[in-house]
Amino acid sequence: MKITRSSKCYFKKFITRKKQEQLELVMKEYSRIVNQFIGKYQWKISNKKTKRDKKTQFDLCYKDYIHSIDTWLSARLIKNAFREGYGMVQSAKSNATTRKEHYRRPYHYGNKMILSETIATAEFNPKTKEFDLLVSLGSIGNKIKIIIPLKKNNHFNEFNNDKAWIISKSITITNKYIQFSFEKEIQKKDISDVEELRKGKFADEYKSMQNNLITFSKDTPEFVEQRNNIYNYINTTIQKNKIIGLDCGINKLLASTDNQTFGEGYKKLLEKLSRKKQKSKAWYRCKEEIREFIDYNIKNLNYNLYNLLVVEDLDNVHKNMKLKLRLSKNMRRLVSKWTFRYIYERLFAYCDLNRVRYRQVKSFNNSRTCPICNYTNQKNRKVQSDFCCLECGYSDNADYSASKRAVIRYLSWKPTVSNPKQINEEKLLYNFV
pLDDT value at 418 more than 50? no
Predicted pLDDT at 50: 56
Q: Specify whether 166 is located in the same domain as 225.
A: no
Q: Is 15 left (phi over 0), alpha (psi -120 to 50) or beta?
A: beta
Q: Specify whether 72 is located in the same domain as 202.
A: no
Q: Specify whether 92 is located in the same domain as 199.
A: no
Of 139, 165, 185, the residue at which a domain comes to its end is 185
Q: Specify whether 207 is located in the same domain as 83.
A: no
| Residue 143 within any structural domain of the chain | no
| Residue 234 within any structural domain of the chain | yes
Confidence band for 385, pLDDT divided at 50, 70 and 90: confident
Show the domain range for 70: 2-119+152-185
Which tens digit of pLDDT belongs to each residue from 190-227? 888 888 888 888 988 999 999 999 889 888 899 999 99
Of 185, 210, 238, the residue at which a domain comes to its end is 185
Predicted pLDDT at 424: 37
| Residue 141 within any structural domain of the chain | no
What is the C-alpha separation between 47 and 93, in angstroms, rounded?
Answer: 6
Predicted pLDDT at 120: 95
Looking at per-residue pLDDT, the higher value among 128 and 51 belongs to 128
Q: Specify whether 163 is located in the same domain as 206.
A: no
What is the C-alpha separation between 382 and 325, in angstroms, rounded?
Answer: 15
Confidence band for 23, pLDDT divided at 50, 70 and 90: very high
Looking at per-residue pLDDT, the higher value among 427 and 354 belongs to 354
pLDDT value at 345 more than 60? yes
Confidence band for 245, pLDDT divided at 50, 70 and 90: very high
Looking at per-residue pLDDT, the higher value among 223 and 48 belongs to 223
Which tens digit of pLDDT belongs to each residue from 135-145? 999 999 999 99
| Residue 142 within any structural domain of the chain | no
CB atoms inside a 10 Å sphere around CB 193: 15
Query: Based on the structure, what is the number of domains in the chain?
Result: 2
One-letter identity of residue 4:
T
In sequence order, what are the beta bridge partners of 243? Answer: 308
Looking at per-residue pLDDT, the higher value among 67 and 154 belongs to 154
Confidence band for 6, pLDDT divided at 50, 70 and 90: very high
Of 160, 185, 210, the residue at which a domain comes to its end is 185
Q: Specify whether 208 is located in the same domain as 322.
A: yes
Confidence band for 58, pLDDT divided at 50, 70 and 90: low
254-256 and 243-248: which strand pairing?
A: antiparallel
Q: Specify whether 164 is located in the same domain as 228.
A: no
40 CB contacts (<8 Å, ≥6 apart)? Answer: 68
Average pLDDT, the chain: 85
| Residue 140 within any structural domain of the chain | no
Predicted pLDDT at 270: 85
Q: Specify whether 43 is located in the same domain as 169.
A: yes
Q: Specify whether 397 is located in the same domain as 286.
A: yes
Q: Specify whether 160 is located in the same domain as 229.
A: no
Confidence band for 337, pLDDT divided at 50, 70 and 90: low
Q: Specify whether 332 is located in the same domain as 249.
A: yes
pLDDT value at 374 more than 50? yes
What is the C-alpha separation between 121 and 128, in angstroms, rounded?
Answer: 17
Q: Specify whether 165 is located in the same domain as 197.
A: no
| Residue 60 within any structural domain of the chain | yes
| Residue 281 within any structural domain of the chain | yes
| 3-state per-residue secondary structure call for the chain | CEEEEEEEEECCCCCCHHHHHHHHHHHHHHHHHHHHHHHHHHHHECCCCCCCCCECCCHHHCHHHHCCCCCCCCHHHHHHHHHHHHHHHHHHHHHHHHHCCCCCCCCCCCCCEEECCCCEEEECCCCCCCCCEEEEECCCCCCCCEEEEECCCHHHHHHHCCCCCEEEEEEEECCCEEEEEEEEECCCCCCHHHHHHHHHHHHHHHHHHHHHHHHCCCCCHHHHHHHHHHHHHHHHHHHHCCEEEEEECCCCCEEECCCCEECCCHHHHHHHHHHCCCCCHHHHHHHHHHHHHHHHHHHCCCHHHCCEEEEEECCCCCCCCCCCCCCCHHHHHHHHHCCHHHHHHHHHHHHHHCCCEEEEEECCCCCCECCCCCCECHHHCCCCCEEECCCCCCEEEHHHHHHHHHHHHHHHCCCCCCCHHHCCCCCCCCCCC
212 CB contacts (<8 Å, ≥6 apart)? Answer: 226
| Residue 175 within any structural domain of the chain | yes
